[in-house]
Structure 1
Amino acid sequence: MSSIDLDAPVNPGRRTALGMAAAAAGGLLAPGLASAAPSAGDVSPKVLRYAFRVAETGFDPAKLSDLYSRIITAHLFEGLYGYDYLAEPAKIKPLTAAALPEVSADFRVFTVKLKPGIFFTDDEAFGGKPRELVAQDYVYSIKRFADPANKSPAWGELEELRLVGLAEVREEALSKRTPFDYEREVAGLRALDRYTIRFEVREPQPRLVEFLAQGDLYGALAREVVERYGDQIPAHPVGTGPFKLVQWRRSSLVALERNPQYREVLYDAEPAADDAEGQAMLAKYKGRRLPLVDRVEVSIIEENQPRWLSFLNQQHDFIERVPEEFINIAMPGGKLAANLKHQGIQGYRTLYWDVVVTLYNMEHPVIGGYTPDKVALRRAINLGTNIQREISLGRRGQAIPAQAMEVPHTTGYDPKFKTEMSDFDPGRARALLDLYGYLDKDGDGWREMPDGSPLVLVKNTQPDQFTRGLEEIWQRDMQAIGLKVDLRIAKWPENLRTAQAGKAMIWDVASSSSQPDGQGALGRLYGPMSGGANLARFKNKQFDAIYDKMKALPDGPERLALFQEAKRIAVAYAPYKNHVHRYVTDMAHPWVQGYRRPVFHNDFWHYVDVDNSLKKA
């Protein structure tokens, strides 16, 4: 899955590392693989600096749904399992667990043993004493997602595991309006002893270990910390991970430093035998203690131009997702630009495991509903949206059309599957609107509702320049079929809250996978997840039945056939418009070494090295 051929065309199903060959003029060594050794007297801290393009929302795992906050929490908290940094395809391995789970033959009982001797970061909540990680910490942390007081957007995902007894405790708290009973033993979530956890589910869960590998959400949080800080938990994330939070200026700067209490964890991985890049990285770093860097500083720069310039000017060592408007300067023709290559800058292009969608609030009186006229309106909007123009102009070619919710590199994704989601047919769009009575009845150039009332598409959006460019393309598309648009501009976190509350009519959002299994993407349409993953609030009994059946089935032809059925229902009712799967290109200066974009997980900082000797004075 890794190529070191600088001039090779990019295969959409594989990742390519660019700039790996030595620069002819400067004689630069293959970045990330070899470098001049730092001098014996060099004790300068190794600091990784880069910028998020979207602000974080906080660091309480139970209250998170956004990617950028989860990147932070992935380095503070640890799940029972994690992903091998270099293995491709993805491979799950024990993290705080001593081994993979002991699993019953019917996939309903999972027993996990913890490694003893793992400690939380020191905190005042522990009264000045070392605090060891124990099985009960995971029991408590997972219960927090079920606590109605936390209003966890991830509860829907946890609920579908069907842990025996957990939903009942939640329902009792809701019905009686009493605090969630953390003391009550839940049969499906028990600490058998100090280091043993037992999970029991009502229905077979062949892929439960993938859930347990999401440390950014389901990592262990100590109860003493929650009780000490209460509502201030988002600012006091105390975990067992490789870093600790040392500075947070909301929507401005997040700084993490090496966790002094982090146990001895040595660099190890299992790259494929034919993965030359991965094998070289393993040879260089194997046996070194993690984390390799001392500090990570993350700025928030929402506008693309200053974020790009901050990288070029070496204010940042790394840029995650080169902005689309600069990609043809940075990588003309899919190759690293000569001037950047000469500086030793490294480029990494990946067909990302995400999908960009427009959500339509199915409970909104204008855009929502399941009657033929409402379905026709959404389908007309979809058919009138020019995805190819969005890709070529708005995204500078850095995407492919998305036919369904499933994302590349996951189960259920079929690159040959074709739907009308990628069709651009304004003639059909206008015909659908005419047929169902969406006509311009007052002659002002805009269509009205079938009853003659005003028809305005109210869309939430962000203020950054890139998003404005995309909205201009979409507005022109809608104007061409006679639909009036009103844009409501707010920052991304505010738009997320609005959508979660069911108050947004239309909003564009990207969804990425955190698991190899593609069923998670279908959660965007699963009725019980309405208001959480299912921001469109779509509810369909046939779809939900398919979804429930898929959970219990092992991977195979029968399950893949259900994926196809689920996709067709989604297209038929059109609660979303699937836009694209994006290519992402990351870049790093030559002193940032050992980077590889992680698949299905957000933690990589502790595997990356910074060679201060390569920095210019």
Structure 2
Amino acid sequence: MRTPFAFLTKLLGAAALLTALPLAQAQAPTAPKVLRYAFQIAETGFDPAQISDDYSRTITPHIFEALYAFDYLALPVKAKPLTAAALPEVTNDFKTWTIRLKPGIYFADDPAFKGKKRELTAQDYVYSFKRFADPKINAPLYAGVEELGIQGLLALRNKAIAEKRALDYDAPIAGLRALDRYTLQINLDQARPRLLDNLASNDLMGAVAREVVEFYGERISEHPVGTGPFVLKQWRRSSLIVLEKNPGYRERFFEAEPAADDAEGQAILTRFKGRHIPMIDRVEISIIEESQPRWLSFLNGEADLSFIVPNEFVNSALPGNKLAPNLAKRGMRLHRILAADEAFTFFNMEDPTVGGYTPDKVALRRAISLGLDVEREIRQVRRGQAVLAQSHVVPHTSGYDPKYRSEMSTYDPARAAALLDAYGYVDRDGDGWRDMPDGSPLLLEVATQPDSQSRQYDELWQRSFDALHIRVKFFAGKWPEQMKSARAGKLMLWMMGNTANSPDGLETLQYLYGPQAGNQNISRFRLKEFDELYERMLVMPDGPEREALLLKAKRIQAAYLPIKTHVHRIRSDISQPWLIGYRRPMFRNEFWHFVDIDNGLRP
């Protein structure tokens, strides 16, 4: 039998435990705020000078910082200082740009620095810009840097090529000068009125420390070290990318300038203004190529963001282009924009079958274009998440006119067949398939990817080519490998996508500019008339005269058809209720440090 004293002792002990419990809970470490979502295509690496794909370029701007960036909430977009102290001082008719850096910005700690804190300096940007010109690196987007016309950079590159060695980084050039520790001066051969937008949009221009590059050598893509808000903690290639908050990141606070009538932007600003960024602790990105498991991981709460709702699930998730009631009931939010974006098919202009500039070759490409039912592509495969494109100039950029019309979007299989007949693409051996004018077999080799969505496009294309009696062969490969083959001129034709980095419509027309052949100009299109137009627009200020030249450039694309631009895509993202402050950036997928995670709302 228990004594009253024993019972009282036990009761007091239990009371003491209950009293102590809230204190223990209060002292427990706060759960980290982790952002999780998935890419549908694998990354290629994390060295700014060696990448060009959107997926790798989603990672790098969170690690490496450029001089300027676009305001997170401002529309139209607005360039703001990032590591720069202020906007550039521009003189000499847009040819000389002097930029002062903020002192006290440091690279993340790394063994390459041998235990010392490493401050960002103007010389780091001189070195980082030069890396794009190093022939040993073979930067895929070097032509875009060359296009800026930095004095002496091309000559320095050509000297390295002639001597068959790496670039001489210690050789001074007039175009890139560190006037002092914190002052960078860029001198250009010709006026570049939009250089500020180039610096703000080009996430590749993030500062890289020379000693890090030299320390890691050929493994530099695996060891990105920058001044940005996140650091790479784990990487399983084509599987998982993990980043964590940079513990040594400088004091930086949330600020933005949304338009007065932008209710969503104003609400985000009200909630976050003055908050220290980044607000989350960790980012985990999985690579899930197939749509179904990627979508299910989001529905199950394993992902915080469906970064582009897969087309196969648009009808159930977005009936009538509105968030489905069952998802809205769970507190999810829809983020939907017509993106500065395009999907297109390029023809290799050096290919003996589809390339060339003679009337018969142009007729073949035009017939292929006329035979592709893009409206059906939008309805059946894209589930309405796109609009017909009329040119390679994308929405929200200069030169884009929603009223402009061309044959780019026309579907007319009868005309396509007539064109093929007129130029000798007929069945000469009676096997039911068209042959080349010289009697050899006409066979189109179409590059594709081994995922379910790509197979839907392939089926649509097969139907279109069968209707024209054109034999076609599809060969699948992983996206990074197909991209390498495309740049090397080994693909006949391939459908791919592109997202603009800046509000200048000329940027997407790089895909047709002759000197960019093998880089952005994957079609290897070379036409003197187009190149001259392009070079005039580079140095010309915005205005009606430049818009008229952009129109001429669009008409040249429609006439020669080195690229058939199918659609401008509508991007629909859905966020979980605990992901706060997300809004898809217009020109750069840089947003992690502007969002928050409310763990209290997680299931």
TM above 0.5, one fold? yes
Quick one: distance in 2 between partners of 1:562 and 1:489?
38
1:589 and 2:576 are equivalent in the alignment: yes
AA of the residue aligned to 1:442: D
* Alignment equivalent of 1:264, drawn from 247, 251, 258: 251
* Alignment equivalent of 2:276, drawn from 275, 286, 289: 289
Q: How many Å apart are 1:39 and its aligned residue?
A: 8.2
Classify the secondary structure of the residue corresponding to 1:146: coil
Structure 1 segment 165-176 matched on structure 2, within 5 A: 165-176=152-163
Report the counterpart of residue 455 of structure 1 in structure 2. Answer: 442
Question: Is the Cα–Cα contact under 8 Å of residues 403 and 421 in structure 1 kept in the other structure?
Answer: yes
1:99 and 2:86 are equivalent in the alignment: yes
Quick one: distance in 2 between partners of 1:464 and 1:239?
34
* Alignment equivalent of 1:274, drawn from 253, 261, 266: 261
Structure 1 segment 158-557 matched on structure 2, within 5 A: 158-214=145-201, 216-557=203-544
AA of the residue aligned to 2:119: E
Q: Report the CA distance shift for 1:40/1:513 in structure 2 as closer, same or farther (over 3 A).
A: farther
AA of the residue aligned to 2:309: V
Single out whichever of 168-177 and 221-230 deviates more from structure 2: 168-177
AA of the residue aligned to 2:296: L
Quick one: distance in 2 between partners of 1:595 and 1:533?
30
Q: What are the Cα deviations for residues 261-286 of structure 1, in whole angstroms up to 9, with x where unaligned?
A: 11000001111111111111111111
Q: How many residues align?
A: 579
CA RMSD of superposed structures (Å): 1.1
Quick one: distance in 2 between partners of 1:272 and 1:549?
33
Report the counterpart of residue 51 of structure 2 in structure 1. Answer: 64
* Alignment equivalent of 2:118, drawn from 113, 128, 131: 131
Quick one: distance in 1 between partners of 2:202 and 2:503?
15
Quick one: distance in 2 between partners of 1:503 and 1:238?
34
Question: Is the Cα–Cα contact under 8 Å of residues 352 and 584 in structure 1 kept in the other structure?
Answer: yes
Q: What are the Cα deviations for residues 310-330 of structure 1, in whole angstroms up to 9, with x where unaligned?
A: 000111111100001101100
Quick one: distance in 2 between partners of 1:397 and 1:40?
51
Quick one: distance in 1 between partners of 2:236 and 2:344?
30
Quick one: distance in 1 between partners of 2:273 and 2:102?
21
Q: How many Å apart are 1:175 and its aligned residue?
A: 1.7
Report the counterpart of residue 15 of structure 2 in structure 1. Answer: none
Q: How many Å apart are 1:173 and its aligned residue?
A: 1.0
Quick one: distance in 2 between partners of 1:602 and 1:148?
28
Q: Report the CA distance shift for 1:549/1:41 in structure 2 as closer, same or farther (over 3 A).
A: same
Question: Is the Cα–Cα contact under 8 Å of residues 104 and 119 in structure 2 kept in the other structure?
Answer: yes
Q: How many Å apart are 1:178 and its aligned residue?
A: 2.5
Q: How many Å apart are 1:42 and its aligned residue?
A: 6.5
Quick one: distance in 2 between partners of 1:401 and 1:215?
27
Quick one: distance in 2 between partners of 1:381 and 1:576?
11
Question: Is the Cα–Cα contact under 8 Å of residues 78 and 215 in structure 1 kept in the other structure?
Answer: no
Q: Report the CA distance shift for 1:263/1:52 in structure 2 as closer, same or farther (over 3 A).
A: same
Quick one: distance in 2 between partners of 1:410 and 1:39?
51
Quick one: distance in 1 between partners of 2:475 and 2:112?
43
Q: What are the Cα deviations for residues 336-394 of structure 1, in whole angstroms up to 9, with x where unaligned?
A: 11110111111111111111000100011111111111111111100101010000011
Report the counterpart of residue 20 of structure 2 in structure 1. Answer: none
Question: Is the Cα–Cα contact under 8 Å of residues 75 and 216 in structure 1 kept in the other structure?
Answer: no
Q: How many Å apart are 1:40 and its aligned residue?
A: 8.7
Quick one: distance in 1 between partners of 2:119 and 2:485?
39
Classify the secondary structure of the residue corresponding to 1:400: strand
Quick one: distance in 1 between partners of 2:323 and 2:28?
35
Report the counterpart of residue 11 of structure 1 in structure 2. Answer: none
Q: How many Å apart are 1:176 and its aligned residue?
A: 2.1
Question: Is the Cα–Cα contact under 8 Å of residues 39 and 613 in structure 1 kept in the other structure?
Answer: no
Q: What are the Cα deviations for residues 232-290 of structure 1, in whole angstroms up to 9, with x where unaligned?
A: 01100000000000000000000000001110000011111111111111111111110
Q: What are the Cα deviations for residues 434-479 of structure 1, in whole angstroms up to 9, with x where unaligned?
A: 1111111111111111111111100110011011101111111111
Q: TM-score, normalised by structure 1?
A: 0.93
Q: How many Å apart are 1:215 and its aligned residue?
A: 5.2
Q: How many Å apart are 1:179 and its aligned residue?
A: 2.2
AA of the residue aligned to 1:226: V
Quick one: distance in 2 between partners of 1:50 and 1:566?
39
Q: How many Å apart are 1:172 and its aligned residue?
A: 0.9
AA of the residue aligned to 1:53: Q
Q: TM-score, normalised by structure 2?
A: 0.95
Q: What are the Cα deviations for residues 500-549 of structure 1, in whole angstroms up to 9, with x where unaligned?
A: 11101111110110101111000000001011110000000000000000
Greater gyration radius: 2
Report the counterpart of residue 9 of structure 1 in structure 2. Answer: none
AA of the residue aligned to 1:560: E
Q: Report the CA distance shift for 1:77/1:198 in structure 2 as closer, same or farther (over 3 A).
A: same
Report the counterpart of residue 4 of structure 1 in structure 2. Answer: none
AA of the residue aligned to 2:151: V
Quick one: distance in 1 between partners of 2:466 and 2:196?
48
Classify the secondary structure of the residue corresponding to 1:199: strand
Quick one: distance in 2 between partners of 1:199 and 1:408?
30
Alignment gaps of 5+ in structure 2: 1-24
Quick one: distance in 1 between partners of 2:363 and 2:491?
20
Alignment gaps of 5+ in structure 1: 1-37
Quick one: distance in 1 between partners of 2:202 and 2:513?
23
* Alignment equivalent of 2:70, drawn from 83, 94, 98: 83
Question: Is the Cα–Cα contact under 8 Å of residues 77 and 215 in structure 1 kept in the other structure?
Answer: no
Question: Is the Cα–Cα contact under 8 Å of residues 120 and 239 in structure 1 kept in the other structure?
Answer: yes
Classify the secondary structure of the residue corresponding to 1:390: helix
Classify the secondary structure of the residue corresponding to 2:55: helix
AA of the residue aligned to 1:531: G
1:149 and 2:136 are equivalent in the alignment: yes
Classify the secondary structure of the residue corresponding to 1:191: strand
Q: What are the Cα deviations for residues 288-310 of structure 1, in whole angstroms up to 9, with x where unaligned?
A: 11001000000000000110000
Q: What are the Cα deviations for residues 176-200 of structure 1, in whole angstroms up to 9, with x where unaligned?
A: 2122111111101111111111111
Structure 1 segment 17-56 matched on structure 2, within 5 A: 43-56=30-43
Quick one: distance in 2 between partners of 1:233 and 1:571?
42
Question: Is the Cα–Cα contact under 8 Å of residues 440 and 447 in structure 1 kept in the other structure?
Answer: yes
Quick one: distance in 2 between partners of 1:284 and 1:396?
35
Question: Is the Cα–Cα contact under 8 Å of residues 47 and 294 in structure 1 kept in the other structure?
Answer: yes
Quick one: distance in 2 between partners of 1:615 and 1:426?
52
Report the counterpart of residue 30 of structure 1 in structure 2. Answer: none
- Percent identical among aligned pairs is 58
